[in-house]
A and B are shown apart, each in its own frame.
Chain A
Amino acid sequence: MIAYYRALLLLVFLFVTGCQSLAPRATGDLGLVIERATGSVQIIDTSDRRALARIEGLGDLSHASVVYSRDERYAYVFGRDGGLSKVDMLLQRIDRRIIQSGNSIGGAISQDGALIAVSNYEPGGVKIFNAQTLELVADIPAIGANGKRSKVVGLVDAPQKRFVFSLYEADEIWVADMSQPDDPDITRYRDVGKQPYDALISGEGRYYIAGLFGEDGLALLDLWQPQLGVKRILGDYGRGEEKLPVYKMPHLEGWAMAGDYALVPAVGGHEVLVIDRSNWKLVRRIAVHSQPVFVMASPDQHYVWVNFAHPDNDTIQVIDVASLEVIDTLKPGPAVLHMEFTPRGHEVWVSVRDANRVRVYDAYTRREITSLEMSSPSGIFLTNRAHRIGL
């Protein structure tokens, strides 16, 4: 009888201790930080401002991005080496993982959360997977009008179960309607401009805008009126000016719509370009510290935080959208790669790769609150992205 109680006690003890880390909790204040050199991620808690767990074995994360399931439980991590990993934020482990191509640049989740699309460099194209099982649903080779297979960039999700993406070598934008998941209906737009290198979609999912590396300007597609085709905007902002060498490609997906404006990094210039969203005309060119990489608006759209390309990447500047002026310059340390606002925008989390730290700033006083040790941190992705189009 005593032995029975002992065994029972042991069971209760094991149950209690074994489940401690799995106590009921929600994921709304969680996120992932990419540790790019070690192929790992850390789960962070932005309420307690601490790291909860490190998850290893995610492959080459030199250019990685993350999207979240609708319930904010699962993170889908896209790795450079074509790895697609589904990470369980609650059980703090890899749920599923596949190698889906030779070389990948990022991905998106469909509006209904059912499909994961991955944009590939090698072989160029988009592959679409069942979000639960990671089974292949559709394979879309990106063969442009030039007959060549192209790298795919700027892949985003759009309303009505569509994915929009650009073909880097073929100068095209494609819209894939996934209403019939295993039979994508693709609309192709040709000659959109030279070498689209990245893209963003506005928060309501209406405007898809691709940046062009091979010429000045951007390519704009209005998804409410797709029959009007792709328009070139800002085609003359840098005309006649000598381009500076670009040591890191600017990123457009950082949600840079603020107030009446869209703010985008100039390619090869030390400027942030301000576009009036009512007519897509250039309003202003804001001189900044160096070449911008991310131009990210705060959730209240009052401020825009900008980081910069190598070798001037120890700096962040903050633009006040009301005055369109740079109002602050921060020096977080060597190689500031990414910034992420907390969901309602009271803090900014900043990865400083070569300091092996993620710094947490008050978004308004811009004072550092704390910092966390991370190994070569790059992208920071919070779970609230689950409820935003195009992130």
Chain B
Amino acid sequence: MFAITTTGWSAESITDRRAAELRHLVMQDCGSCHGLTLKGGLGPALTPAALGDKPKDAMLATVLHGRPGTPMPPWSNLLSREEARWIIELLYRGVDE
């Protein structure tokens, strides 16, 4: 089931199984640098409070292309754009929700 919306922020094409994998990736592997609770580590905090009203598109670019000069790697060869968007939505919503 695929759905396309005008905002481009739909994540309905992510299956439940993939969603569980992505959540695991966020907690465990992103958590290596950002902390399991995403309150920060080598990388900055990624909690809803820390993200605030930062533009999601900029965050998406960071996830996909990394941050040159920092340890943040580009994830575009491991994650699709849609999957990266799903992760961004999760972070802004809060992983505990």
Q: Which residues of A contact B (CB under 8 A)?
A: 36-37, 60-63, 80-81, 103, 105, 121-122, 151, 168, 197, 213-214, 245-249, 310-311, 335, 353-354, 376
Contact = CB atoms under 8 A, between A and B. Distances in A.
B72 to A, nearest CB: 9
B89 to A, nearest CB: 22
Nearest to B29: A310
A121 B42 contact: yes
Contact of B28 (A37, A122, A214): A37
A62 B36 contact: yes
A62 B42 CA distance: 12
B73 A122 contact: no
B39 interface: yes
Given A103-B39, A103-B40, A62 B74 contact: no
A353 B71 contact: no
Contact of A62 (B32, B69, B71): B32
Question: Looking at chain B, what size class is its interface with the partner chain?
Answer: 20 to 34
11 contacts: A62-B36, A80-B35, A214-B69, A245-B73, A245-B74, A248-B29, A249-B33, A310-B29, A335-B28, A353-B28, A376-B28
Interface string B55-97: 0000000000010010101100110000000000000000000
A247 B29 contact: yes
Contacts, number: 63
Contacts of B31: 62
Nearest to B27: A37
Nearest to A249: B71
A57 to B, nearest CB: 15
Contact of A105 (B27, B28, B41, B78): B41
B35 A60 contact: yes
A196 to B, nearest CB: 12
A354 B25 CA distance: 11
Nearest to B40: A103
Contact of B35 (A81, A245, A246, A311): A81
B32 A63 contact: yes
Nearest to A37: B36
A62 B78 contact: no
B36 A80 contact: yes
B37 interface: yes
B42 A246 contact: no
